[in-house]
Structure 1
């Protein structure tokens, strides 16, 4: 399921959820440029493993608003509001 969440700091973040909606949440950051789209097999594998796979789009890609990031460590500040909205 693809959706966009508006974080408390009014930044839109796109994400897609795969697998078991009641499973153990696992955040996926694929590290490549692009959106949160994954092959169908990931959905089936996550469901079989009882995992709720949450793929978050990087700032400026897909439905996510652009936002400055000076280092990889800045990702946490972008991710935490998304998880609170989930």
Structure 2
């Protein structure tokens, strides 16, 4: 179930762990690990753990920024004497 509410700043969405796992193409256990590690923000409402949509978007944006900062590897060419 996606919970929606209007807090005066537009519509906000909260996702269950299973829904967040589906959005991120991850297993629910992985989502729990990310929450425990502080890599994915969540809130508790009673016994339920909910992940705000903005937290999912931030997580994706952070991973995209990390991927963009990685220098691509170029295949190395063996030196002339290496194959002898």
TM-score by length of 1: 0.27
TM-score by length of 2: 0.27
Higher strand share: 1
Q: Name which one, 1 or 2, has greater alpha-carbon Rg.
A: 2
Higher helix share: 2
Greater RCO (CA < 8 Å, at least 6 residues apart): 1
